[in-house]
Chains A and B, each alone.
Chain A
């Protein structure tokens, strides 16, 4: 597989799995507004995954659905950070949401500068939508850090920040570290991160759920 297809799959797998995790808040978020927000964000992330899989699929001679749902669990390249099941911990969810949006913003900016016009064009499109995710995430991180529960946000950051670094190639990590520190003062970049391909315990059950329809009805479309 080319480096290009591999990079597209890493990004697509992250977006698909995070979209799935975000959708676990549908119906049970702390307020109706957040129920709508997390459902909408989930829909966007899965839409980005679909478009990224589509570009990879054109190169690999397959389809977006096959890449999303027909691979064995060990073939997925998502980061452990997005695999974590955080429901019903709202503070951890908000911290992950914020750290993800910062990291995703850094890598999307990089892809917008790609010499591959298909990738640069799609990255620009994705970035237009992600602006609203970043606005939402920053609004919430300010609210959480400015509240009586600020210590819980700090504790969540200590746990999640090292894993968030695993979303990015090493060359891009300093930009993430700088942006997060500027807004929150957090810097746990000295801790070990999780390499891609090293999955969380929650990954296998999530994969089972995500692929259940396609496994029971091969080639199913919806």
Chain B
């Protein structure tokens, strides 16, 4: 990660914490709404810096209205303080998070939990004809014989689809 400071820092209680250790700790912080994946799998941790007895974490929201953001922020700060350093979590309000930042492991965890992972962002913006096309795969049976039921779903990040093959509704991550 660009800007990472891999150097050792002296913690408030005398402990030494590295950026790698902070990353490892954050890999254990679950997403509040889909706890099968961590905030690191989700790609929302953009940067970690350590120094002067504290860790500074740059966090990007998924969707701006997602209520999980505040919960993530608190859980990240708490987990990092557990390493013996002060934690500062800055929320970055720009376009640097994309569903393309979800890691391959994260995508696989989503699929196994019944959430179809997002299509790649590619060059263009999503269009209705694309959402109605058969490029989306059912996370249960793998069929692409699936249809769009609703552009919107139970949270801002998901759409609803229906699989004609195994006759199951499922949640599809929106590409952003």
Give B91-102 as 1s and 0s: 1 = Cβ < 8 Å from A's Cβ atoms. Answer: 001111110000
- Interface 9-residue window, one of A85-93, A124-132, A180-188, A208-216: A124-132
Highest count of chain A CB atoms <10 Å: which of B97, B155, B156: B156
Within 8 A of A (CB), among B127-176: 127-128, 131, 149-156, 160, 174, 176
- Interface 9-residue window, one of B36-44, B47-55, B58-66, B73-81: B58-66
Instruction: Tell me whether A37 and B95 are in contact (CB under 8 A).
Output: no
- Interface size range of chain A in the complex: 20 to 34
CB neighbours of A132 from chain B (8 A): 126, 151-152, 174
Distance between Cα atoms of A124 and B152 in the complex (Å): 20
Grouping DSSP codes into helix (H, G, I), strand (E, B) and loop, the B interface class, with mixed when no group exceeds half, is loop
- Interface size range of chain B in the complex: 20 to 34
Instruction: Tell me whether A33 and B149 are in contact (CB under 8 A).
Output: yes
CB neighbours of B93 from chain A (8 A): 51, 54-55, 118, 121-122, 125
User: Does A136 interact with chain B (Cβ within 8 Å)?
Assistant: yes
Say whether, besides A41-B152, A129-B156, A139-B128, A122 and B63 are in contact (CB < 8 Å). no
In whole Å, how far is B162's beta carbon from the nearest beta carbon of chain A? 12
Distance between Cα atoms of A97 and B155 in the complex (Å): 20
Distance between Cα atoms of A51 and B63 in the complex (Å): 11
CB neighbours of B174 from chain A (8 A): 132
CB < 8 Å: which of A39, A48, A121 contacts B64? A48
Highest count of chain B CB atoms <10 Å: which of A46, A51, A125, A135: A125
Instruction: Tell me whether A37 and B150 are in contact (CB under 8 A).
Output: yes
CB < 8 Å: which of B65, B96, B98, B153 contacts A47? B65
Within 8 A of A (CB), among B1-35: none
In whole Å, how far is B157's beta carbon from the nearest beta carbon of chain A? 10
Instruction: Tell me whether A121 and B156 are in contact (CB under 8 A).
Output: no
Say whether, besides A122-B93, A128-B95, A131-B126, A43 and B151 are in contact (CB < 8 Å). no
Say whether, besides A47-B66, A125-B64, A129-B64, A40 and B152 are in contact (CB < 8 Å). yes
Distance between Cα atoms of A46 and B149 in the complex (Å): 24
Say whether, besides A126-B64, A129-B176, A40 and B156 are in contact (CB < 8 Å). yes
Residue of B whose beta carbon sits closest to that of A129: B63
Give A62-95 as 1s and 0s: 1 = Cβ < 8 Å from B's Cβ atoms. Answer: 0000000000000000000000000000000000
Can you add 4 more A-B contacts, CB < 8 Å, to A36-B160, A45-B65?
A36-B152, A125-B95, A131-B176, A135-B131
The 5 closest A-B pairs by CB, nearest first: A47-B65, A121-B94, A47-B64, A124-B95, A40-B152
